[in-house]
Amino acid sequence: MEAAVSSRGARVLRLAFSARKPGIHGPGTGPAATFGTSVTNAKVSVNGVHLHYQQTGEGEHAVLLLPGMLGSGETDFGPQIKNLNKKLFTVVAWDPRGYGHSRPPDRDFPVDFFERDAKDAIDLMKTLKFKKVSLLGWSDGGITALIAAAKYPSYISKMVIWGANAYVTDEDEKIYQGIRDVSKWSERTRKPLETLYGYDYLAKICEKWVDGIKQFKHLPDGSICRHVLPLVQCPTLIVHGEKDPLVPRFHADFIHKHVRESRLHLMPEGKHNLHLRFANEFNKLAEDFLQ
């Protein structure tokens, strides 16, 4: 069974993350200014850590991109950083603490790590002097976005999430267990993150992530954030790839049912990385919704 799950996990990761590529490198050390179509890399002190972010665009509407499992702005949002409308939006892509260039510290996964990420994300945007923001959250970043929208409703304008789940099931746990060992990932899947982290750190944080996400399975109803969904007030677009091998359709349906101001958009050929595989379609969908 374990071998079968591992094989499935490797296949799932190929399907889910094959389009994930490193993007812009070279973080700076000071606060960023907006340079139109250029991209600024910087770090800023937030809640006792130095968080790395990328910023581009000159629009009045601020948009924060929240990456997925093990991800960063550069690995997870290349087509969005490059192509989202820079006259309408100021786009910020962040690296959560312990991910990407937001190290040290090393990443850890206490039971409240999503709440911690949500607070870090909001405090980052406030430190950068944005008065309100919209959120685009992928996978783990979608979970963080839901929590942020629930806890800071007056600060969030709109939200787009995809590949997120509000609780953990037995089926999810099997998928997570199958991706624990990065040595079993395909080179194409592993290489971008290995380039970013080095193999040893990648292997370590992947195992820690699996243990971190599995711990929710033992909470009431397997809840990650299902209890806060009714608190979300902002208009929310839930995008779901109907061929997503990591997050089954019932997760998107559940979030749609419990977030009152939400609508669900299905992409029949979309997988977990639909914003990368179908970047033009996704970007237009997000821009239309945010406007």
Residues annotated as catalytic (active site), given as ranges: 139, 244, 272
Q: Are 232 and 154 in contact (CB under 8 A)?
A: no
Q: Which amino acid is at 252?
A: A
**From CA 183, how far away is CA 291, in angstroms rounded?**
43
| 32: nearest Cα among 99, 93, 100, 113 | 93
**Phi, psi (rounded to 5 degrees) for 276:** -95, -45
Q: Are 49 and 97 in contact (CB under 8 A)?
A: yes
**Phi, psi (rounded to 5 degrees) for 286:** -65, -45
Which residues contact residue 262 at a Cβ distance below 8 angstroms, ignoring those fewer than 6 apart? 232, 235, 236, 237, 238, 255, 256
Q: Are 236 and 161 in contact (CB under 8 A)?
A: yes
**From CA 107, how far away is CA 101, in angstroms rounded?**
11
